[in-house]
Structure 1
Amino acid sequence: MANFLTKTLFLYTISIVFCLAFGQMSNRGDENCETLPSEIHLVKEEYDELGRLQRTCNAEVTVMKCEGLCNSQVQPSVITQTGFLKECYCCRETFLKDKTILLTHCYDPDGVSMRSFRVSFAIILTCACTLRQNLMPEVSAQENDVQRTTDECQVTPVIHVLQYPGCVPKPIPSFACIGRCESYIQVSGSKIWQLERSCMCCQESGEREASVALFCPRAKNGERKFRKVNTKAPLSCMCRPCTGVEESAIVPQEIAGYTDEGILANQFRKSPQLQFA
């Protein structure tokens, strides 16, 4: 009878926490990847077959750039090798179009005015927040010079449903990195027409680890019906370039058997803003 009441109370507590989580599901800000005009100073040099400079042309050109805030998150996951499931979105071009530009200010090496020069380039037409498929850092020549102050990246309490083959799913208190970070893509003028890219994602800057006991009724003869599974969670979060999991010190946190100690209810008492992992 006592065991039945304990299980009933636990399931009732889980139901209440789940309802609270669904009621306050979204803590992510609105994305605003914008297509904005940008003025660049374009320079084009023309050489002969011997490599001698024939003329230099330049002009002030208006092109479009992508800039804004995109949502990203890192959730705990035991099915991935790293222990985290990452979802990074970047403000990127969705459509390019070839454009011919007339450079009207052309001069030879002696400064004598020459005829205009036509050049064709692919320019940005539209932008949107796009999921990054390859989590490799993007390098931008001007990334250190661009100051971003509107990033919103926080450690967020979540209820993570821990699942393992052959075992009963178990909801546990955990954490995730959820927020939105700055990213941009813009044309670099000067002598080389190139696209500078920068993408910052809300990611972990440290890890914590927990060992959780799962009940596995499908265990074969001779195998244990309780299995300990390690799961990770972010220790802290920050906007940084999209990469794989950053190696760092892991802080052990043993939470196996938490159901008897009421940790599930106490864990989220500090913050009412819950998310589902």
Structure 2
Amino acid sequence: MGTQKILLCILELLFVFVLHSWAEENCETIPTEIHVTKEEYDDMGNLVRSCSGEVSVNKCEGICNSQVQPSVVTPTGFLKECFCCRENYLRERLVTLTHCYDPDGLRLEDEERAIMEVRVREPAECKCYKCGDECQMTPVIHVLQHPGCVPKPIPSYACIGKCTSYVQVSGSKIWQMERSCNCCQESGEREATVVLFCPKAKSEQKRFRKVSTKAPLECMCRPCSTIDESAIIPQEIAGYADEGLHSHFRKSF
């Protein structure tokens, strides 16, 4: 019986290989045009101007191989493989909006306010990825805090995305359920030491306090466990270069 299962597994793998060899994948980076609108506000929250324009960007589009086949070794009785055409990585660049209007809807003509530069992120390369698992390392602002000290935001990383989970009837024990739960988590970590200013400290020596923090080294879908996200602000970082992140963090072994 064991030998028969091994042979069936080998046949399934060969079947998958043959399907991938026959069907040609065609996931490409294709130029497209989108309409972008950006509004600018002053410190009081009042609208200063609104700019728009047609912008050329890249998109991912194409064909990826997917299949469903009978299987005697999977609990569901089917071996499913689904692949989607999406970005391998993103790049950021500046684009110019040339149609700017004041709050009354009047076209702005002066050189300083007639155009606006905005940052956009677009696919730089496209590939076929397995559907469902989209766990990526994303830049965030991590606010470091300590009682009596001034909070200090630093550039950091967080694992953000989605992972496949399921609950199903057991194939071998139909009165039981099989559960699989994966979460987007860190794989390895890096450490940083940051100095906080503490104006309320009683002694002069303690006005500057060193605190340690950690960030993911890589991200991947792993079995779920508790993750502390209380100090993470899930927002994009603007204007931080990679060197700034590496200057804070070092690998932790």
Could you state the TM-score of these two structures normalised by the residue count of structure 1?
Answer: 0.38
Q: Considering only CA atoms, is the larger Rg found in Structure 1 or Structure 2? A: 1
Tell me the TM-score normalized by structure 2. Answer: 0.41
